[in-house]
Homo-oligomer: A and B are copies of this chain.
Amino acid sequence: MKPTSSGQLSFIRPYKPLLIVLSGPSGAGKDAVLYRMKVSGYALKYVITATTRQQRPNETNGMDYYFVTVEQFHDMLQKSELLEWAEVYGHWYGIPKAEVRKALDMGQDVIVKIDVQGAATIKKMIPNAVFIFLVSTSKDDLALRLRQRHTESSADMALRLNAADDEMNQISRFDYVVVNHWDKIDQAVADIIGIIRAEKCRVVPREITL
């Protein structure tokens, strides 16, 4: 931490990209928050998850998810091409490892959207990632969001709401909790951007190795 001979201060550190893990219960608004960050032009690498679940009408392949077959998914898995994978509500989800590594190597901050089980797996592998738990203000609100999707069966919805209680208990594994008041999504986005700014100012930077 001494000034270098040039007079520049050595704590103006070389750029350390962050790995940000955005998680939380289904229906907390992870997609909406990420979408808002994307359209505001916030410079992050938004990692796209591969999934075997069915594409929803409003989703685009290669934008929202990589929609793959079960066979394609297992092929990626066998070739160790996935950073993390999980079966959630009967479907497979996985994060292409190469995409994360490439971005970090280029000095880009990476954000990964993942369910709470997946976040727990990443926490074991990469404890120095930044773990953010996004949550809506109430369970009623959570149910409302799920209903508004209009694309879930009642059975699917009950399954997700039961899972939400367990997920809440896992919050202690996270660094930050961001509350997404459904009518104030910009506040949640500002919180996440604030967290990223703050993390970049840490005296002890996080070392990420994949």
Contacts and interface: CB of A to CB of B under 8 A. Distances in A.
Chain A, interface SS category? mixed
Contacts of A107: none
A93 to B, nearest CB: 24
Interface in A166-210: 168-169, 171-172, 174-179, 190-191, 193-203
B176 A12 contact: no
Nearest to A196: B194
B202 A176 contact: yes
A171 B202 contact: no
A61 interface: no
Contacts of A14: none
A111 to B, nearest CB: 15
Contact of A195 (B11, B140, B165, B198): B198
Contacts of A176: 198, 201-203
Contact of A9 (B8, B139, B203): B139
Contacts of A7: 138-140
A1 interface: yes
A2 interface: yes
Contact of A194 (B3, B11, B194, B203): B194
CB-based closest 5 A-B pairs: A194-B197, A198-B198, A194-B194, A176-B201, A195-B198
